[in-house]
Amino acid sequence: MALLYEMVWRFLHALLYVQRTLVAWFRVHIWRWKRAVVGLLLPLALGFHNPKKTGPIGKRTSRRIRFGAEGRTLEKLPLHVGLLITEEEIHFTDIANLVVWCMAVGISYVSVYDNQGVFRRNNSRLMEEILKQQQELLGMDSSKYSVEFMKNGTDKQEHQVLSCQSMVKVLSPDDGRLSIVQAAQQLCRDVEQREKTSKDINVTVLDSLLRESKNIPDPDLVLKFGPVESTLGFLPWHIRLTEIISMPSHVDVSYDDLFGALQRYAVCEQRLGK
């Protein structure tokens, strides 16, 4: 009888896994299908009222103007945005586009995170892709939206393009829970060596150990891409007051998708524990 129960349990568990996989697949593909239909029908709905054609240069210029103008229309703009990728397949170009768009609307800090550490291992590839998309999306104005890549554990730059206005930091699980463990171990050593007493340990002391740089604020907004309902260890200490917005996928994500999330953040009421 016990063997029968175990077989039934395993069968139900397999069905649950299949169900979750199918739901995730349909979410992503239905979202892409909706976007494709909107892109096809929108020009028809507008009635082609502007027959004047604009070349690639004109389109890029209008987009650059749109970035800055729309950023100024928001009631509040996050200072630090985290990009949390929960999907197994990662597209560097789409992530680079998100980073450049964040820079263009006026966001000063962008953190990029995945649970497998793909970005950390391919840091230089991400940098190259961001620089490439910078030139592609911003053109001659790219110098106005230059980016600085931050090394983990220091305040020093890893790569800089002209004058810095935005900072990008690549994160992995080592920057999350492991940092809390290491901070706790450091406090234990301080008590053991009588450099501190147990009464000296409080939230402020722990907070100072966990912060690599006083110049980088906590994320105001985290955009989570993918069907996984988890932050997967993304800076658990630093996102206590962070607004988290879920999006179906980072693949083929558009500027309108990003700006829609920024609009949701701008009107959300943050009670900050009250």
- CA–CA separation, 270 and 274 (whole Å): 9
* Helices 92-105 + 255-267 axis angle, to 10: 50
| Predicted local distance difference test score (pLDDT) of residue 129 | 93
Q: Name all domains of the chain by residue range, CATH numbers in brackets.
A: 87-151+163-175+217-267 (3.40.1180.10)
- Do 154 and 121 touch, CB atoms closer than 8 A? no
What pLDDT sits at residue 145? Answer: 60
pLDDT at 134 (0 to 100) = 85
pLDDT score, position 2: 66
Q: For residue 6, what are the CA distances in angstroms to 1, 11, 12, 14, 15?
A: 9, 9, 10, 12, 14
Beta-carbon neighbour count of residue 244 at 10 Å? 15
Whole-number pLDDT of residue 175: 75
Long-range own/partner contacts, residues 20-26 (CB < 8 A, 24 or more apart): 23/227, 24/226, 24/227
Provide the pLDDT for residue 220: 94
Mean pLDDT of each 10-residue bin along the chain, 274 residues long = 69 65 57 53 45 45 60 88 94 94 90 92 91 81 62 47 63 76 83 82 76 72 94 85 94 94 89 59
Alpha carbon distance 187, 107 (integer Å): 35
